[in-house]
A and B are shown apart, each in its own frame.
Chain A
């Protein structure tokens, strides 16, 4: 076990997980001295009937202030302010967020506004600006997932001023995260696969990158095991309730791990591809994960080798000689992407040239590489990657991951 000279670890979110976890919400609200929640979600979640399920589980015991489903795919300042207005108008005293990353970010933003009575969110940007508990927030994730129900960050885009505001504070954490298998039961296979690989990337980067610590490690290992054992099964059999619950727990544990140990180049490049080409985050993670592991292999092979155990289980681990385990992790992840590609009829992309938008057009073009690489160099997560990355390194990884060919190990500059 690696014990760093100094480390910090924190996850104050209460976790409730089960096939009937939603029914525990009224009690959770009472314990938080709240009676009138504002339910925030988006049209996709509402359309899938998930709000009806939440409603049914709580309406007898709770008087819901309002249900608002107008949150856009990217969290937006205007929407945050408008929803804060609804909160006040309906005399709400708690927020229940049902959805994925952007719903949770928006809910965290709304919480800052209504708790601090803020006219201008910008004063609360950065780290340490929020110093007191906010209003009660209950998070119900509907993907497995981003882990935003356990992260201390929120990103809100101000489209008018063309900037992204980043908020970091332990007080942004929801009070309670409710993981209920009903919330992801209808998640389509291709979204299940990409959000599942997103979670797996969080866990693996948390375990193999520079800021790891004993607690983030145990959370990461537990996450890898749950995700690896269940992802393909659930993609093939979407109504597997036990599998859905396992993925939800795995994504949550992965969120706890990475928010306490940072991530590495898979996220660095992934954020950049997302912002330049608008490729969904989970898709970027799936494709880049094996490349990140390859690129860093000469620096952290030992940690990568340990990932093999929760990834493949005791038999395969025992039959793989120690000096081949890290490689096996990389080939196994590539195989997972292949299996998921097959199981989703090609919708789970294995490389960036396969990523198509709704009109069937390629979303990433080699012409974009330079801009992506530039953007990556400015991303904070680059500092936690075990090996340095410069412009040429980024270009090399982008070219290989676009084509779907492994990295040429000889070309990796050893810093």
Chain B
């Protein structure tokens, strides 16, 4: 008997594919928006991607503003400048093009202009926002930190958690995914994989969350090998973008899992993309969680396997097959001729004697697991050997 009430929400509409950008003016009209500001970061504008959004608006005649100066991390000063501009020029909606900081700035801006300016302080924390914000469209163009299409925003030392921060619309257009950045693409894929798989085994997991998580994982299966082999394949890269958005929607309905927390701690301490760390730790973290709860093996296997596999695999081999699946991705990433991606923590800049500090950092940031257990998992990820 299902004991407690399950819950699911996803405010995000997904428009994905060829010419997705061209639909933006109509989508804005449907949200009663007439004058958006487009916010992007220097990296995106340096890649020459701004012209695509300009083109998307040209035929529609919709006026819009363009700000290309978002710095590498979101800061209050940028948000305050933008909010003054926003109110002065009468914008009524926000479009963020890029990743990471551009999305955080957009979310922070939305808080600042939807209520009182001081909301940026008052509404920090969890579920402090109590009403819809202004229409917000997110256009991922690059490889990010996995928080773009989620209910989280990070501005300087503050974090904001609310599903009202999620974009009304995410637009994933292959034309924006042309410059190959294999390591970052792979990192994004691993974040999406981690978020999806951990959502499937979360205590608050349910069929609705799984629908997004499974779709994300299927995109990774279909597109990651191709994107690794052919870095210029726009459709394959776009598939990873889709996976990241769908995983973000699943992730926003649960709390971050073990592998997420360890990966993020390791990445931030050593300035390595957190997705890369998550990807390395993933099989070991999942293996650990399966030993604590056997039922996880089936849930994870259902998420990664296709029907033919599901039909002919016996229960006793579910766990092994899940781990093999992930290790297969790791092998493909490690065997790239250029920009090979490390398979173990040893192959990165991380030293073995810093593993306890990584564990501690993850615990300080909210991971509730015994420190020695964390070190066990990190050690296995360091050596690339199964859990002791």
Footprint of B on A, CB under 8 Å?
Answer: 1, 3-21, 23-24, 31, 33, 128, 131-133, 169-170, 214-215, 217-219, 222, 226, 241-242, 245, 249, 253, 256, 306, 309, 314-315, 317-318
For the complex, what is the distance from the CA of A253 to the CA of B20, rounded to whole Å? 26
B47 at the interface (CB under 8 A from A): no
Contact A8 B15 (CB under 8 A): yes
Interface residues of B (CB under 8 A from A): 1-2, 4-20, 29-32, 130-132, 206-208, 210-212, 214-215, 218-219, 221-222, 235, 239, 242, 246, 307, 310-312
Is B211 a contact partner of A253 (Cβ separation < 8 A)? yes
Q: Is the CB of B215 within 8 A of A253?
A: no
Measured CA separation A241–B3 after assembly (Å)? 12
Given contacts A1-B221, A3-B239, A21-B5, 16 further A-B contacts (CB under 8 A): A3-B222, A3-B235, A4-B17, A6-B18, A7-B15, A10-B14, A19-B2, A20-B5, A31-B130, A217-B215, A218-B212, A222-B207, A241-B1, A249-B207, A306-B307, A314-B312
- Assuming the contacts A214-B218, A218-B211, asked whether A16 and B7 have C-beta atoms less than 8 A apart, the reply is yes
Give the 4 A-B residue pairs with the shortest CB-CB distance, closest first: A6-B17, A18-B5, A10-B13, A318-B311
Contact of B212 with A215 in the complex, beta carbons under 8 Å: yes
Q: Are B208 and A253 in contact (CB under 8 A)?
A: yes
Give the distance in Å from the alpha carbon of A19 to the alpha carbon of B239 in the complex: 38
**CB<8 Å pairs between A and B, sample of 16:** A1-B222, A5-B18, A7-B17, A8-B14, A8-B16, A15-B6, A17-B6, A21-B5, A169-B30, A215-B14, A215-B212, A222-B210, A249-B207, A309-B307, A317-B307, A318-B312
Asked if A6 and B16 sit within 8 Å, CB to CB, the answer is yes
Instruction: Name B11's closest neighbour in chain A (CB-CB).
Output: A12
* Alpha-carbon distance between A77 and B307 when the two chains are bound, in angstroms: 47
* B12 contact set on A, CB distance < 8 A: 10
Measured between C-beta atoms, what is the minimum distance from A354 to chain B in Å? 34
Give CA–CA (A10, B9) in the complex, Å. Answer: 11
Residues of A within 8 A of B8 (CB): 14-15
Neighbouring B residues of A4 by C-beta, 8 Å: 17
Chain A residues contacting B206 (CB-CB under 8 Å) are 17
A226 contacts B5, CB within 8 Å?
Answer: no
Q: A242 near B310 (CB under 8 angstroms)?
A: no
CA distance A18 to B208 in the complex (A): 13
User: Complex Cα distance A20/B4, Å?
Assistant: 8
Q: How far is the CB of B285 from chain A (nearest CB, A)?
A: 24
Q: Does B13 contact A222, Cβ atoms closer than 8 Å?
A: no
Query: Are A33 and B131 interface neighbours, CB within 8 A?
Result: yes
Contact B31 A131 (CB under 8 A): yes
Contacts of B31 in A (CB 8 A): 131
B208 and A15 form a contact (CB under 8 A): yes
Q: Tell which of B212, B219, B235 touches A1, judged by Cβ atoms closer than 8 Å.
A: B219
- Given known contacts A131-B31, A253-B207, A318-B311, is B239 in contact with A17 (CB within 8 Å)? no
What is the bound-complex CA distance between A15 and B11, given in angstroms? 12
| B2 x A18 contact (CB < 8 A) | yes
Contact at A11–B310, with CB atoms within 8 Å?
no
**Cα–Cα distance between A290 and B16 once the two chains are bound (Å):** 32
Q: A245 CA to B312 CA in the complex, in Å?
A: 29
Which residues of A are found within 8 Å of B132, using beta-carbon distances?
133
Known contacts A18-B2, A218-B210, A314-B310; is-contact A5 B218 (Cβ 8 Å): no
A214-B215, A218-B215 known; A131+B16 contact, CB < 8 A: no
Closest beta carbon of chain B to A138's beta carbon, Å: 14
Task: Judge whether A17 and B130 touch: CB under 8 Å.
Answer: no
Beyond A12-B10, A133-B132, whether A245 also contacts B2 by CB under 8 A is yes
Q: Give chain B residues whose Cβ lies under 8 Å from the Cβ of A8.
A: 13-16
CB nearest neighbor in B for A178:
B5
User: What's the Cα separation between A217 and B13 when bound, in Å?
Assistant: 16
**Distance in Å from the Cβ of B27 to the closest Cβ of chain A?**
9
Q: Once the chains bind, are A128 and B30 in contact (CB under 8 Å)?
A: yes
Interface centre among B1, B2, B19, B207 (most CB of A within 10 A): B207
Using Cβ atoms and an 8 Å threshold, which residues of chain A touch B19? 6
Cβ contacts under 8 Å, A128 to chain B: 29-30
Return A47 CB to nearest CB of chain B, in Å: 27
Contacts of B18 in A (CB 8 A): 5-6
**B75 CB to closest chain A CB, in angstroms?**
31
Q: In the assembled complex, which residues on chain B have CB atoms less than 8 Å from the CB atom of A245?
A: 2
CA distance A283 to B189 in the complex (A): 45
Give the docked Cα–Cα distance between A215 and B32 (Å). Answer: 26
Q: Once the chains are docked, how many angstroms separate the CA of A131 from the CA of B31?
A: 6
> How far apart sit A23 and B215, CA to CA, in the bound complex (Å)?
32
**Are B207 and A215 in contact (CB-based, < 8 A)?**
no
For A309, what are the chain B residues with a Cβ–Cβ distance below 8 Å?
A: 307, 310-311
Is the beta-carbon distance between B207 and A16 smaller than 8 angstroms?
no
Q: Say how far B234's CB is from chain A's closest CB, in angstroms.
A: 12
Cα(A217)–Cα(B211), bound, Å:
8
Would you give the shortest CB distance from A385 to chain B, in whole angstroms? 22
For B9, B17, B130, B211, the residue with the greatest tally of chain A CB atoms inside 10 Å of its CB is B211
Q: A12 to chain B: which residues have CB within 8 Å?
A: 9-11, 13
Report the minimum CB–CB distance from B28 to chain A (whole Å).
Answer: 10
Report the Cα distance A10→B12, complex, angstroms: 7
- A219-B211 CB under 8 A given contacts A18-B2, A19-B1: yes
**Minimum CB–CB distance for B254 against chain A, Å:** 15
- B2: which A residues are within 8 A, CB to CB? 18-19, 242, 245
C-alpha spacing A128/B337, complex, angstroms: 51
Contact B222 A170 (CB under 8 A): no
Of A21, A215, A256, chain B has the most CB atoms within 10 Å of the CB of: A215
Across-interface contacts of A253 in B (CB, < 8 A): 207-208, 211
Residues of B within 8 A of A256 (CB): 211
Tell me the nearest residue of chain A to B1, going by C-beta: A242
Please, how many angstroms separate the alpha-carbon atoms of A5 and B238 in the complex? 11
Tell which of B10, B29, B207 touches A226, judged by Cβ atoms closer than 8 Å.
B207
User: Could you say which of A5, A16, A218 has the most chain B C-beta atoms within 10 Å of its C-beta?
Assistant: A218
Question: Given A1-B218, A131-B29, A215-B211 in contact, is the A14-B1 Cβ separation under 8 Å?
Answer: no
Chain A residues contacting B1 (CB-CB under 8 Å) are: 19, 241-242
| Whole-angstrom distance between the Cβ of B123 and the nearest chain A Cβ | 15
Contact B130–A18 (Cβ < 8 Å): no
The distance in angstroms between the C-alpha atoms of A373 and B140, with both chains bound, is: 47
Of chain A, the residue at the smallest CB distance from B243 is A214
Contact call B9/A314, Cβ cutoff below 8 A: no
A132 to B29, CA, bound (A): 10
Report the minimum CB–CB distance from A213 to chain B (whole Å).
8
Residues of B within 8 A of A33 (CB): 130-131
> What is the CB-to-nearest-CB distance from A146 to chain B, in angstroms, rounded to a whole number?
18
**Chain B residues near A226 (CB-CB < 8 A):** 207
Contacts of A24 in B (CB 8 A): 5
Least CB separation from A306: chain B residue: B307
Chain A minimum-CB-distance residue to B314: A314
B284 to chain A, nearest CB (A): 27
In the complex the two chains form, what is the Cα distance from A212 to B210 in whole Å? 18
CB distance from B241 to the nearest CB of A (A): 12
Q: Which residue of the partner chain A has the closest CB to B210? A: A222
Interchain CB contact under 8 A, A5 and B211: no
Cα–Cα, bound, A318→B31 (Å): 47
Q: How far is the CA of A9 from the CA of B17 in the complex (A)?
A: 12
